[in-house]
């Protein structure tokens, strides 16, 4: 049985003091071990939020990471900086990073490998644009993202990875994929993982859905056989996050 994982992606929201206030508001509402709960926060909020969630069941996540160990990479954050600060998960290849910060399947792949080397759990994102969906090439496109992004990951390591399927047209738009649409792609992702590894291995990998997940639609989405939780943007910044965690 795969344990569900609900992660909040705070994106570029909340100053350090606001982040502490949000974490403290949410902790008593989402402090459960029935599902894995993760707060993925901006880099500058990592240290204060780590302190605010200390001793709870909530895990800390980052929103990005660089694929080198250290050195002359102004503005970047290394994997060791994350682990030293208590980070357990790291979102990699979010569509916003691909769109605005020129991330490619190749750089995402380097980051996934480097994260695993440091025992960080990558949440690797994939997802199609509206144009790709309308052209009917969603599954082909996602297949490429999965095969490239996870290229060369060992069978042992792949079961640690979390994949997040986030159709770009559903992000921040209030337009959620229907549970059937989300399930179709998540099942296809599991199929690709089965081809890359084997069926038994693919069955162990957690696949989240993301894109306008809220307190009302979470239960139906998470009930689908290949959807193992959610990656939540807007609703993770509100009390409503508890309705998703306690779906």
Give the C-alpha separation, 68 to 99, whole Å: 22
Please select the residue that binds ligand 13P; options are 142, 232, 244, 245, rule is CB under 6 A.
232
Q: Which is nearer to ligand 13P, 164 or 193 (CB)?
A: 164
Which is the catalytic residue, given 63, 94, 128, 183? 94
Helix %, strand %, coil % for the chain, to 5? 45, 15, 40
Residues touching ligand 13P, count (CB under 6 A): 14
For position 145 contacting ligand 13P by CB under 6 A, the verdict is no
Active-site residue flag, 166 = yes
The span of 54-62, 179-187, 196-204, 233-241 binding ligand 13P (CB under 6 A) equals 233-241
H-helix segments, the chain: 16-30, 46-52, 79-84, 95-100, 105-117, 130-135, 138-149, 155-158, 179-196, 199-204, 218-222, 241-245
Site string for ligand 13P, 102-121 (x = CB under 6 A): --------------------
For position 130 contacting ligand 13P by CB under 6 A, the verdict is no
For position 128 contacting ligand 13P by CB under 6 A, the verdict is no
Residues 204-223, interacting with ligand 13P (CB under 6 A): 210-213
Q: How far is CA 150 from CA 73, 178, 199, in A?
A: 24, 26, 16
For position 38 contacting ligand 13P by CB under 6 A, the verdict is no
Task: Tell me the closest approach of the beta carbon of residue 7 to ligand 13P, in angstroms.
Answer: 8
Tokens of 63: 């929103």
DSSP string, 62-114: ES---SSSSSS-TT---HHHHHHTT--EEEES-HHHHHHS---HHHHHHHHHH
Q: Which residues are catalytic?
A: 94, 166
Q: Interface with ligand 13P by CB under 6 A: which residues?
A: 9, 94, 166, 171-172, 210-213, 231-235
């Amino acid at each position: 049985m795969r344990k569900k994982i609900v992660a909040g992606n705070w994106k570029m929201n909340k100053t350090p003091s606001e982040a502490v206030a949000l974490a403290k508001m949410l902790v008593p509402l989402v402090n459960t071990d029935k599902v894995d709960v993760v707060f993925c926060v901006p880099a500058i909020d990592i240290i204060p939020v780590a302190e605010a969630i200390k001793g709870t069941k909530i895990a800390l996540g980052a929103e990005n990471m660089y694929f080198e160990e250290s050195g002359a990479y102004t503005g970047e954050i290394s994997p060791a900086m994350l682990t030293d600060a208590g980070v357990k998960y790291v979102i990699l290849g979010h569509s916003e990073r691909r769109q605005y910060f020129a991330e490619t399947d190749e750089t995402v792949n380097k980051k996934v490998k480097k994260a695993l080397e440091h025992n960080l759990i990558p949440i690797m994102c994939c997802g199609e644009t509206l144009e790709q969906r309308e052209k009917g090439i969603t599954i082909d496109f996602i297949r490429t993202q999965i095969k490239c992004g996870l290229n060369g990951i060992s069978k042992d390591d792949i079961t640690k990875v979390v994949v997040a399927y986030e159709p770009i047209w559903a992000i921040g738009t209030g337009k959620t994929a229907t549970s059937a649409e989300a399930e179709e792609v998540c099942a296809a992702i599991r199929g690709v993982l089965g081809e890359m590894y084997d069926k038994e291995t693919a069955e162990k990998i957690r696949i989240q859905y993301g894109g306008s997940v809220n307190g009302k639609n979470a239960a139906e989405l998470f009930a689908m056989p290949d959807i193992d939780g959610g990656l939540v943007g807007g609703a993770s910044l509100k009390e409503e996050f508890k309705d998703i965690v306690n779906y």
